[in-house]
Amino acid sequence: MQTSIKTILLTFCFLLICLNAFAASGPVAVNVDIQARDSKAIRLRNLPKDAVVAVKVESDSNIIVMILDTTNYLKFPGSHRPLFVGQVQKRLGFSVTIPATDNYYLVLDNRTGQKPRAVKVMVNAARSSSDQIEAANKILRNFEQQLHKVFVFNPFTFGAKQCGEPKAFIKGSGITLCTEYVQHLYEALKDKEMAQNALAFSIFNEIARVLLSQWKHPLAAQEETVNEFTTVLMVMVKQEQRVSAISENFVKNPSVPKALMKKLRDHGHPLSAKQAQKILDWLRNPEFVRSWQKIVVPHMQTTLLERLYKNPTNWTDLSLVKKELVLRRKNYPRQHPQASPYKKGNAI
């Protein structure tokens, strides 16, 4: 079991690092006072090609705002070609796609103004959407492959895409994460670690839905059953701290998941405050994960069962593991090799 857990955790760590790229870096907020007939610039360091920069500017009166690359900034205020130029009349929001890797400058221009201006600027930057999605899809597929080393199930599609609508996942036979959901989590929770915890629960929640459905569980369509199994899975792969932390956060701040659920209109995502409290109650029960082993053990890979039998965890039901191993050893020789999901080739 230890080897399989290490493999899953390594892949999962890369998964969260990858999906972290979907969230814009920042936001960075700056308050600037610009004197009459003057200008100021904010340097945006080392922006990569195809990065998307979103800018919001608020001013107590009119100013000009522009984005310049290094070459054109060195020419300013002489002849220059801005990547973007616009006039701020109290508020202005815009985004640009960076054409080449370089330092860029957000210029706040009050050279024609007769009075000082008080300006507030907020900047977000993110990698290009195509790079994000390509990286996420690769790691999501790898994550699904690693799950095969723990459980027996039919392969399913596991990927990410821009959905163009307020959803967490696109429903279907597999799992398709909407990249917008990651950004929504970061914006709502305002904490990178907590957003990753919420994302982790959502990903395992969708995995739980697929597995229970494939395994013909009679309550596979019920949200509470799926949440129970999600919690079990996360404890089994040593993600108990993440599920506990996000549950505690949502119980203490119920307006956050409520606002997200209203915005996303996606059943089951994010976790509700009510369901979060139930998860905390389940986690306090030392027999909770063990009670699910009668569902889980028949769908574990044989090699994993053998390791659990030799080195049981605190949630291992040895009697169930032994019974399942005896059953497989008895039946396996009589089965056609291609008909059995418990082939030796599934070693961890």
Structural domains of the chain in order of their starting residue, each with its CATH number: 2-21+129-284 (no CATH), 29-126 (2.60.120.680), 296-346 (no CATH)
Give the model confidence (pLDDT) of 318-344 as tens digits. 999 999 999 988 875 544 333 333 333
Q: What is the largest CA-CA distance in the chain?
A: 91
What does the angle CA 262 – CA 177 – CA 10 come to, to the nearest 5 degrees?
125
Nearest to 342, CA basis, from 298, 301, 297: 301
> What pLDDT does residue 212 have?
96
Q: What is the mean pLDDT of residues 17-21?
A: 62
**Token representation of residue 58:** 């608020």
Q: Is the pLDDT of residue 348 over 60?
A: no
What does the DSSP 8-state code read for residue 48?
Answer: P
Give the model confidence (pLDDT) of 28-70 as tens digits. 889 999 999 999 999 998 888 878 888 999 999 899 999 999 9
> What pLDDT does residue 45 have?
87
Q: Is the pLDDT of residue 128 over 80?
A: no
> What pLDDT does residue 338 have?
35
50 conformational bin, left if phi > 0, alpha if psi -120 to 50, beta if neither: left
Lowest model confidence (mean pLDDT) among 106-115, 133-142, 297-306:
133-142
Q: Is the pLDDT of residue 74 over 70?
A: yes
Neighbours of 314 (CB within 10 A): 8
What does the DSSP 8-state code read for residue 80?
Answer: -
Residue-by-residue DSSP string for 228-278: HHHHHHHHHTT-HHHHHHHHHHHHH-THHHHHHHHHH-BTTBS--HHHHHH
pLDDT band at 347 (very low <50, low <70, confident <90, very high): very low
Q: What is the mean pLDDT of residues 116-133?
A: 80
For the ranges 122-131, 183-192, 272-281, the maximum mean pLDDT occurs at 272-281
Q: Is the pLDDT of residue 312 over 80?
A: yes
> What pLDDT does residue 345 have?
32
Neighbours of 291 (CB within 10 A): 14
Q: pTM score, two decimals? A: 0.69
CB under 8 A, 24+ apart: contacts of 179-182: 179/22, 179/129, 179/132, 179/133, 179/136, 181/264, 181/266, 181/269, 182/19, 182/22, 182/23
Q: Which residues contact 260 (CB under 8 A, 6 or more apart)?
A: 184, 185, 188, 270
